[in-house]
Amino acid sequence: MTQRLNKILKECFRSRRGKRADIRRIPVNKKAADNHLDKARNNLNAMRLMFNNEFYDWTVICGYYAMYHAVLASLFIIGLRALSHQCAISAFQEFFIFKGIVKKEYMTYLNKARLLEKKYSDTLRKARENRVFIQYGVKTITNEDVGWILEDAEDFVLRIEELLAD
C-alpha cells in the first residue's frame, strides 16, 4: 500500500467532530452486496441503451456507476460500508487489488471511466473525477471515446460477481 493511500484510508475510518467515518466496519451483509450487484447490472443495461442511442456522456456515467456499485458490493461482503466514492475506491484498492484478489487491470477499467480525455490513468480515484467532468461538462464525446467502457464495465461487474459467488 502506498503511503498516500494508507493516509487516505486511515482518514476514511476516522470520525470527525460529530460526523461519522466515511468507512465503517459492519457485519458482512450479503443482501446489501446482492442489491448493489443488481444495481450494477441495471447500470450496465442503461449503459448499453445510452451507447446505442448515442448518448456517449451518459454511457460513461452509467459504466462508471456499474463498476462503483460492484465495488460497494465487494466491500459489503468483507464487512465494510463506504459512504464516499474516494473511500470506497481506496478500500477496494487496498483489500482487493493490493492483496491480489482482483487483477490490477480492473483498476484500469475504473480509471478509464473517470478520465475520458486520457486513455489510461494511474489511480482508481481518477475514474470518479472523470465522471464528474463528463456529467457536468460540455465536451462533445464520440463513440470512439467511449466504446471501450462497454466491455470494461461488463468485465468488471462479472469479475466481482464471480468473486462474491466463491
Split at pLDDT 50, 70, 90, the class of 118 is very low
Torsion angles phi and psi, residue 122, rounded to 5: -90, -20
Torsion sign (Cα): 95, 98, 104, 107: positive
> Average model confidence (pLDDT) for the chain?
82
CA atoms of 143 and 20, how far apart (whole Å): 41
Q: Which range scores top for mean pLDDT: 59-73, 108-122, 125-139?
A: 59-73
CA atoms of 108 and 123, how far apart (whole Å): 8
Yes or no: say if 152 and 109 are a contact pair by the CB < 8 Å rule.
yes
- Residue identified by cell 484478489 is 101
pLDDT at position 57: 77
H/E stretch holding 63 reads: helix 56-77
For the residues 50-60, what does the mean pLDDT come to? Answer: 88
Split at pLDDT 50, 70, 90, the class of 6 is confident
In the chain, where are the structural domains located?
3-9+23-165
Yes or no: say if 159 and 102 are a contact pair by the CB < 8 Å rule.
yes
- Give the architecture-level CATH label for domain 3-9+23-165: Up-down Bundle (1.20)
Chain centroid to CA 94: how far? 13
For the residues 123-143, what does the mean pLDDT come to? Answer: 60
For the residues 19-31, what does the mean pLDDT come to? Answer: 93
Q: What is the pTM of this model?
A: 0.80
